[in-house]
Structure 1
Amino acid sequence: MNSVPPSGRAALRRHDREILGLALPAFGALVAEPLFLMADSAIVGHLGTAQLAGLGVASALLQTCVNVFVFLAYATTAAVARRLGAGDRSAALRQGVDGIWLALLLGLLVVAVALPTAPALLDAFGASATAAPYGTTYLRVSALGIPAMLIVLAATGVLRGLQDTRTPLYVAVGGFVLNGVLNLLLVYPAGLGIAGSAWGTVIAQWTMAAVYLTVVVRGARRHGAPLRPDLAGIRASGRAGVPLLIRTLSLRAVMMIATAVAARLGDADVAAHQITLTLWSLLAFALDAIAIAGQAIIGRYLGAEDEAGARAVCRRMVQWGVGSGVVLGALVLLVRPLFMPLFTTDQAVIDQLTPVLLVVAVTQPVAGAVFVLDGVLMGAGDGTYLAGAMLVTLAVFAPVALLVPTLGGGLTALWWTVAGLMMTTRLITLALRARSGRWAVPGAVRA
């Protein structure tokens, strides 16, 4: 006999509809974004190995620049959703406009640094003498699209805060198609080579930014929100993003340490590690989609001063996260024999990869809970705690990971520290905060 009363079942169904309605389009947008790089790589790869190598290093630099500023999306989502929940759409849009102005300013600053230092950056990241000229060309042209990329991040946060994840999906898919067409035309018929690939991406990025700005500006005008820069609002957006920046840098440090340790283990180990990271990233897109839904929904509930509703949807989302992790883990186990041959036929790499994928599979439920709780606390604007929790996680992870080669451990041991120790530490810190209830601060603005 079902112990959940009819009213409770109705609430669960309502939460499920909200979660799925936001998470599914968010997943599509997240998957569409890395397709930009895949399209560039596929097209540039036919120009030659040196061009592809230059693209690889330059694109890694660009992705690092953009990922560091992902707080533009996260912090904006939470702030906009709170004001929406409070019933003040004009203030929500004004907050979003402040975030977009901050993104533009940061983007221009990055361009000013990247253009003159491009050759030195390529050299620091290990580009060879043959690849460096191509990488420098690609980086200098592509840097002109960084302001657009950051505007897209902030504007995506605005729309997510307004409970709209469909528009970002449409824009991402349209941008991917435009990028592919422009790359093909500019690289080959126009004869621009790797510069054509960069220009195609820049044009696609600015087109996406223009679409987002059109949507946000129309909404702002409709609801009487000012569009001019507000220094106080921009500073507030920046302050809200600092803790999330610390969190992001700490998380990237974890992955960089893991890659550095894998490189010390041997060629087969680092090759298997890179393949595992590819799969890990794909799984993260699915789980992050639920987290994005959490950011938007939790912020709205707290803005409406519905603490009970926020706690209830938090519990339901954790169930979704764990359940999704179970499903994803099972899929990894099922497709493992088919997945590995797609990347390598080297038996030494496959031997390293087989047990590592098992580790990834069995830890997915933990990862699911971590992603969801991370999104819940972001939606609540609890960035300071998230920054501290990630620093604790880094302090726990780093010495253990660095000891793996010294203690004779291999790649499987390293991935137990990544998927096991690191994610479990994050789960403990996030779950303790979630259970305390101190994250659920009601109001249009987090006090």
Structure 2
Amino acid sequence: MNTMGIPVDSPMRIPAEQFLTLRAFGAPPIVIALAAQGTFRGFKDTKTPLYAVGKYLIAFILLWKLNEKVLLVSPNIDGGRVARYLKSGGLLIGRTLAVLVIMTLATSLAAREGPIPMAGHQICLQVWLAVSLLTDAIALAGQALLAGRYSRGDYGQARQLVYKVLLVGLIAGVALAVTLFLGFVSLSYLFSTDLEVLQIARSGILFVAGSQPINALAFVLDGLYYGVSDFEYAAYSMVLVGIVSSVFILVAAPVFGLAGIWAGLFLFMTLRVAAGIWRLGTKSGPWKLVWSEIEQENA
């Protein structure tokens, strides 16, 4: 086995290493572009990131346009703000690492099943991720709108926005689930014509389609976390959820194969939603202000 969990004599090894090499080359501009996109969201400008295409090109375009809005290199550096930024950034890096660990683990264990099961798994995984990320647009809109209302102290409107964004996310998730249930068989032909691969991919339709409502809520909750700067809970809860889900996958994959891996990924998203709903229900941290008016009325 190499570091990716692929046997050294596997036909998947060389393509995997080539892909990772190219991805490493594109990593620096991706990081810059993601940071710039986050800044544009703060300005509620979602059009500019949409127009930029490419890796190094998108980083250049976003930095160029961003320079028109803010001073990228300030002569006056506020140490306190830098420290707060680094803390929030560190928490989000930890959160992202938790996601990467479980996704990498799932891919590694699927690779050990062999080339054909791995190919079927990748079709399911890529469709699952791509369709799920459609609801990320709802999360981004909710994040920007909630941040504006929260920062102005308009907590009543912020509370109503939370309800509406969750409802819209759930509706979108159900719609995506129905669409995939009806169209996944036809969609799978876009990825392969190998009948064995397609048979394995189609066996994962329950995972790909059935999890979409949960996935939608998970992404929407992420946006709500960021909207009120609840980074600490977002990071620590993700680490805990990642650990539990990783243990499940490690136990289930050797017994149930791809079904165990898919069940573990579904558990991962379900626990994310459970952690988010629980956080909203506790009305603690930054959420205390959002629910403050209700608490005063009940008192």
Q: Does 1:167 align with 2:30?
A: no
Give yes or no for contact 2:113–2:257 (8 Å, CA) kept in 1: yes
Q: 1:306-349 CA deviation, whole Å, 9 max, x = no partner? A: 12211111110111111111111111112112112222222222
The one-letter code matched in structure 2 to 1:409 is F
The one-letter code matched in structure 1 to 2:155 is E
Instruction: Flag the 1:302–1:441 CA change in 2: closer, same or farther, 3 A.
Output: farther
Instruction: Flag the 1:151–1:234 CA change in 2: closer, same or farther, 3 A.
Output: farther
1:291 equivalent in structure 2: 139
Q: Does 1:227 align with 2:77?
A: no
The one-letter code matched in structure 2 to 1:429 is A
The whole-number CA distance in structure 1 between the counterparts of 2:70 and 2:202 is 52
The whole-number CA distance in structure 2 between the counterparts of 1:264 and 1:398 is 16
Q: Does 1:410 align with 2:234?
A: no
Out of 243, 255, 265, the residue aligned to residue 395 of structure 1 is 243
2:66 equivalent in structure 1: 216
Q: Residues 115-264 of structure 1 correspond to what in structure 2 (within 5 A)?
A: 139=25, 146=28, 148-170=29-51, 172=52, 175-176=53-54, 202=56, 204-205=57-58, 208-209=59-60, 211-220=61-70, 227-228=74-75, 230=77, 232=79, 233-264=81-112
Instruction: Flag the 1:396–1:52 CA change in 2: closer, same or farther, 3 A.
Output: closer
The whole-number CA distance in structure 2 between the counterparts of 1:372 and 1:286 is 11
1:272 equivalent in structure 2: 120
Q: Residues 241-390 of structure 1 correspond to what in structure 2 (within 5 A)?
A: 241-390=89-238
Q: Identify unmatched segments of 5+ residues in structure 1.
A: 1-50, 63-138, 177-200
Give yes or no for contact 2:91–2:232 (8 Å, CA) kept in 1: yes
2:278 equivalent in structure 1: 432
Cα displacement (A) at 1:378: 1.4
Give the TM-score, by structure 2 length: 0.84
Cα displacement (A) at 1:397: 0.7
Give yes or no for contact 1:352–1:411 (8 Å, CA) kept in 2: no
For the aligned residue pairs, the C-alpha RMSD in angstroms reads: 2.5
Out of 58, 65, 69, the residue aligned to residue 21 of structure 2 is 58
The whole-number CA distance in structure 2 between the counterparts of 1:434 and 1:315 is 11
Cα displacement (A) at 1:158: 1.6
SS in 2 for 1:219: coil
Q: Identify unmatched segments of 5+ residues in structure 2.
A: 1-13, 291-299
Q: 1:167-194 CA deviation, whole Å, 9 max, x = no partner? A: 2112x2xx34xxxxxxxxxxxxxxxxxx
Q: Residues 30-69 of structure 1 correspond to what in structure 2 (within 5 A)?
A: 55-60=18-23, 62=24
Q: 1:93-152 CA deviation, whole Å, 9 max, x = no partner? A: xxxxxxxxxxxxxxxxxxxxxxxxxxxxxxxxxxxxxxxxxxxxxx3xx57xx2x44333
SS in 2 for 1:345: coil
Matched positions, count? 276
Give yes or no for contact 2:253–2:259 (8 Å, CA) kept in 1: no
Cα displacement (A) at 1:367: 0.9
Q: 1:21-77 CA deviation, whole Å, 9 max, x = no partner? A: xxxxxxxxxxxxxxxxxxxxxxxxxxxxxx9776512133x3xxxxxxxxxxxxxxx
The whole-number CA distance in structure 2 between the counterparts of 1:276 and 1:415 is 9
The one-letter code matched in structure 2 to 1:285 is L
Cα displacement (A) at 1:227: 2.9
The whole-number CA distance in structure 2 between the counterparts of 1:437 and 1:309 is 16
The one-letter code matched in structure 1 to 2:273 is L
1:423 equivalent in structure 2: 269
SS in 2 for 1:218: coil
The one-letter code matched in structure 2 to 1:216 is L
The whole-number CA distance in structure 2 between the counterparts of 1:442 and 1:280 is 35
The one-letter code matched in structure 1 to 2:280 is A
The whole-number CA distance in structure 2 between the counterparts of 1:266 and 1:234 is 47
User: Equivalent pairs: percent with the same residue?
Assistant: 29
Cα displacement (A) at 1:395: 2.0
Cα displacement (A) at 1:373: 0.8
The whole-number CA distance in structure 2 between the counterparts of 1:374 and 1:240 is 14
The whole-number CA distance in structure 2 between the counterparts of 1:367 and 1:163 is 24
Q: 1:382-404 CA deviation, whole Å, 9 max, x = no partner? A: 11101111111112111211112
